[in-house]
C-alpha cells in the first residue's frame, strides 16, 4: 500500500477529494475533530475545522485500485489502492477542511504557474517563487483584527508593505494565530502547550527581490522571514491554509501585484473526464464495488467496475493589459518542472 500522503496527492491532483488507506480497521469514515483551541481570542477570526460536518462527510464513495496491486516492484513500492471519500469542501468542516485546503491550493498553484509562464512569454521574469512570512507590529495588528473594517485596513497596509519589501506578485494568506509549541523559540511557558494564541502575520507565496531585512524593519516596523518553500507551490499553500484565519465575508487566499485578479484572468474553463493513474506504474486505476456490511460500507476488491474516470475542471488563464500570449493547461510533468 502506498503511504497516505502520496494517495492523497494523487486523488486530489485529479479530483480534489481526500483519500484514506484501506485497512481492516478502517471505519466508514474517520470521526476526527480538529483540536484547535484558541487562547483569549477577541478577533473576528477562527481556525479551519471547528464547525459542523454534514452526514455524508468522510463517507466512502469510490474504492480505487491499480490492476497491478499486490505485485512487488524492484524498488519495493506498492501500487496504489485507496478509497476516495466524500467531501463538502468547507473550511469549517472538521472532516473535510483539509480537502478544502488541498482544492484551493491546487487552483492557486495552477494559476501561479500559468501566470509565470505567460509573463515569461511576454518578456517578464519575476524570478523564483518564495514563501515569505510578514509580521506587523503586534499591538496595532491585534487591535485591528477585532473588526472587519479594521482587518481591511490592515490588509491594505500589508499589500503596500509587501510591495515595498520587493514582492512584485504573490498570493497572500492571513494567519491570526500561532501555536504555543515548546520546540519553538517563541514558546510561552505561561500558556498551555500547543494552544493557539493571537499573533497576526501574513504568509506570501510570491516572486520578487527582497529588500534587506534590517533596512526593511527600520523603514516599516514590520519583520519578514524568507523561509523558502515546501516541495511544491501547492504543498506550501495547502500547508498555510490548514491553519489560516477564517472570517465571514473574507477569502482565505487572495492575490496582489502582477498576480492580482485584474491582471491574471480566466481565459477558458472546461470540464473533462480523466482517468487516475497509479503513481508507481502509470496504469489507470479501476473502480471497485462498495458493499454494505454490518451497518457500514466496505470495498469489494473482487468486483472490478472498470477504469475510473473523474470529472476535472481545467482552467486556462491570460494576461490582461499585455500582448496576447499562448495560454494552455500544463500537464503534470510540466507543472513539476516549473515548481
Return all residues near 152 (Cβ < 8 A) that are at least 6 apart: none
DSSP one-letter string for 45-67: -B-TT-S---TTTT-EEEEEE-T
Dist CA 47 CA 91 (whole Å): 9
Residue 85's pLDDT is 93
Residue 258's pLDDT is 96
- Strand pairing partners for 174? 202
Dist CA 270 CA 293 (whole Å): 39
Q: For residue 50, how many C-alpha atoms fall within 13 Å in the half-sphere facing its CB?
A: 14
Dist CA 271 CA 261 (whole Å): 22
Number of residues written out for the chain: 339
* Residue-by-residue pLDDT tens, the chain, 339 positions: 334 434 443 443 333 333 333 322 223 223 333 457 899 899 999 999 999 999 999 999 999 999 999 998 888 899 999 999 999 999 999 999 999 999 999 999 999 999 999 999 999 999 899 999 999 999 999 999 999 999 999 999 999 999 999 999 999 999 999 999 899 888 999 888 999 999 999 999 999 999 999 999 999 999 999 997 667 999 999 999 999 999 999 999 999 999 999 999 999 999 999 999 999 999 999 999 999 887 788 999 999 999 999 998 999 999 997 645 444 444 443 344 344
Dist CA 168 CA 208 (whole Å): 5
**Please, is 330 exposed, middle or buried when counting C-beta atoms within 10 Å of its C-beta (0-12, 13-18, 19+)?**
middle
Residue 339's pLDDT is 42
Dist CA 30 CA 334 (whole Å): 35
Of 127, 145, 149, 146, nearest in space to 136 by CA: 145
DSSP-derived pairing of the beta strands 196-208 and 38-39:
parallel
Dist CA 158 CA 174 (whole Å): 10
Dist CA 121 CA 326 (whole Å): 8
Of 10, 60, 29, 86, nearest in space to 285 by CA: 10
* 91 φ, ψ (degrees, to nearest 5): -65, -20
Residue 317's pLDDT is 97
DSSP H/E element including 301 = strand 297-307
Residue 325's pLDDT is 45
Residue 322's pLDDT is 67
- Find the helix packing angle between 97-121 and 4-15, rounded to 10°: 60
Residue 132's pLDDT is 96
Of 35, 26, 31, nearest in space to 53 by CA: 31
Residue 285's pLDDT is 98
Amino acid at each position: 500500500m502506498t503511504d497516505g500522503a502520496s494517495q492523497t496527492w494523487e486523488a486530489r491532483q485529479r479530483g480534489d477529494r481526500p483519500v484514506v488507506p484501506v485497512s481492516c480497521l478502517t471505519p466508514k469514515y474517520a470521526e476526527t475533530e480538529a483540536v484547535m483551541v484558541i487562547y483569549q481570542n477577541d478577533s473576528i477570526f477562527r481556525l479551519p475545522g471547528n464547525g459542523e460536518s454534514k452526514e455524508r462527510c468522510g463517507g466512502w464513495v469510490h474504492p480505487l485500485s491499480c490492476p497491478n496491486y499486490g505485485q512487488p516492484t524492484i524498488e519495493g513500492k506498492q501500487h496504489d489502492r485507496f478509497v476516495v471519500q466524500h467531501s463538502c469542501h468547507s473550511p469549517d468542516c472538521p472532516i473535510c477542511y483539509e480537502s478544502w485546503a488541498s482544492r484551493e491550493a491546487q487552483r492557486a498553484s495552477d494559476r501561479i504557474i500559468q501566470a509565470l509562464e505567460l509573463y515569461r512569454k511576454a518578456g517578464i521574469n519575476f524570478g523564483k517563487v518564495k514563501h515569505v512570512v510578514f509580521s506587523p507590529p503586534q499591538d496595532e495588528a491585534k487591535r485591528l483584527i477585532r473588526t472587519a473594517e479594521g482587518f481591511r485596513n490592515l490588509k491594505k497596509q500589508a499589500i503596500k508593505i509587501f510591495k515595498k519589501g520587493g514582492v512584485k506578485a504573490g498570493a497572500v494568506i492571513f494567519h491570526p494565530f500561532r501555536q504555543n509549541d515548546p520546540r519553538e523559540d517563541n514558546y510561552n511557558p505561561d500558556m498551555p502547550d500547543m494552544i493557539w494564541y493571537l499573533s497576526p502575520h501574513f504568509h506570501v507565496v510570491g516572486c520578487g527581490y527582497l529588500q534587506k531585512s534590517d533596512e526593511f524593519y527600520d523603514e516599516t516596523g514590520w519583520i519578514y522571514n524568507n523561509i523558502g518553500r515546501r516541495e511544491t507551490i501547492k504543498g506550501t499553500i495547502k500547508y498555510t491554509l490548514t491553519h489560516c484565519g477564517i472570517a465571514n465575508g473574507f477569502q482565505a487566499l487572495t492575490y496582489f501585484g502582477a498576480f492580482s485578479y485584474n491582471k491574471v484572468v480566466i481565459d477558458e474553463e472546461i470540464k473533462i473526464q480523466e482517468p487516475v493513474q497509479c503513481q508507481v506504474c502509470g496504469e489507470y486505476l479501476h473502480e471497485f464495488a462498495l458493499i454494505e456490511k454490518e451497518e457500514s460500507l466496505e470495498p469489494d476488491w473482487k468486483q472490478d467496475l472498470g477504469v475510473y474516470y473523474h470529472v476535472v475542471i481545467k482552467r486556462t488563464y491570460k494576461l490582461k493589459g499585455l500582448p496576447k500570449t499562448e495560454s494552455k493547461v500544463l500537464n503534470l510533468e510540466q507543472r513539476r518542472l516549473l515548481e
